[in-house]
Amino acid sequence: MKIIIIILTCVSGAVLADGVDFNTSNPYTHSNNPYTSSNNPYTSDNNRYNNDNNPYNQSSQRIIRDNSGQPTGYAVPKKDGGTNYFSYGSTERKGYQSGVSK
In a domain, 67, yes or no: yes
User: What is the per-residue pLDDT across 15-67, written as a single tens digit (0 to 9) for each?
Assistant: 444 444 455 667 778 888 888 888 888 999 999 999 999 999 989 999 999 99
Residues in Cβ contact with 62 at an 8 Å cutoff, skipping those fewer than 6 apart: 52, 53, 74, 75, 76
In a domain, 78, yes or no: yes
In a domain, 92, yes or no: yes
Residues in Cβ contact with 17 at an 8 Å cutoff, skipping those fewer than 6 apart: none
Question: SS3 letters for 10-35?
Answer: HHHHHHHHHHCCCCCCCCCCCCCCCC
Q: What is the pLDDT of residue 72?
A: 93
Flag whether pLDDT at 87 surpasses 70: yes
In a domain, 102, yes or no: no
Tally of domains in the chain: 1
- At residue 87, what are phi and psi to the nearest 5 degrees? -105, 150
Which range of residues forms the domain containing residue 62? 2-97
Q: What is the pLDDT of residue 74?
A: 95
